[in-house]
Structure 1
Amino acid sequence: MSVSQQVIKDKLQASIGDIYHIIITDTSNGCGQSFDVIVVSDTFEGKNKLQRCRLVNGALKEEVAQIHAFGCKCFTTAEWSKLVV
């Protein structure tokens, strides 16, 4: 299975509850080897950055193993609303 933005989105939605927003950017010019992901979910409430990223990385364990680079940023809905005013 090749890694695509849709595969990443589907896996995140299935694994992390209460997702408000997901932004997936293929940073490898379309070859599917490098992705940056922003996940907004209140599941992250009370968790630090490391704990949040571990949730995302755990959900995408198989996909992350197949690609060259992966970055994620995780926000609660309250944090996200402050960023996108």
Structure 2
Amino acid sequence: MLSEQKIRDKLSVAIPNVHNVIITDTSNGCGQSFDVIVVSDTFQGKNKIQRCRLVNTALKEEVAQIHAFGCKCFTLEEWSKLVV
């Protein structure tokens, strides 16, 4: 079963300058559906598709094992404007 910690660890290694990772198990604990928010300045200058591709590439093996996966990616500046 895929865990939130395993996702967090993989993203922290694969994506430079990670400021925050928020993971929500939307499968009521069975580990088959996750929503992820990643905050990294690596996303600067990239559009939404390019950002999500970075995350999906980092989690390719994990995403193949689960039922549903969603991600949202923000730079630190974008994130700070959202969480006022």
Stretches of 4+ moved more than 3 A in 1?
Answer: none
Q: Equivalent residues in 2 for 1:2-81 (5 A)?
A: 2-81=1-80
CA distance in 2 between partners of 1:41 and 1:64 (Å): 20
- Deviation digits for residues 23-65 of structure 1, max 9, x if unmatched? 0000000000000000000000000000000000000000000
- TM-score scaled by length of structure 2: 0.99
5+ residue gaps in structure 2?
Answer: none
Alpha-carbon distance between aligned partners in 2 of 1:78 and 1:26, rounded to the nearest angstrom? 26
- Give 5+ residue unaligned stretches, structure 1: none
Cα-Cα RMSD? 0.4
Q: CA deviation at 1:72?
A: 0.1
Distance 2:14 2:35 in 1: 18
Give the TM-score of the pair, scaled to structure 1.
0.98
| Count of matched residue pairs | 84
Distance 1:76 1:3 in 2: 26
- Cα distance in structure 2, aligned partners of 1:6 and 1:81: 24
- Aligned-pair identity in percent equals 77
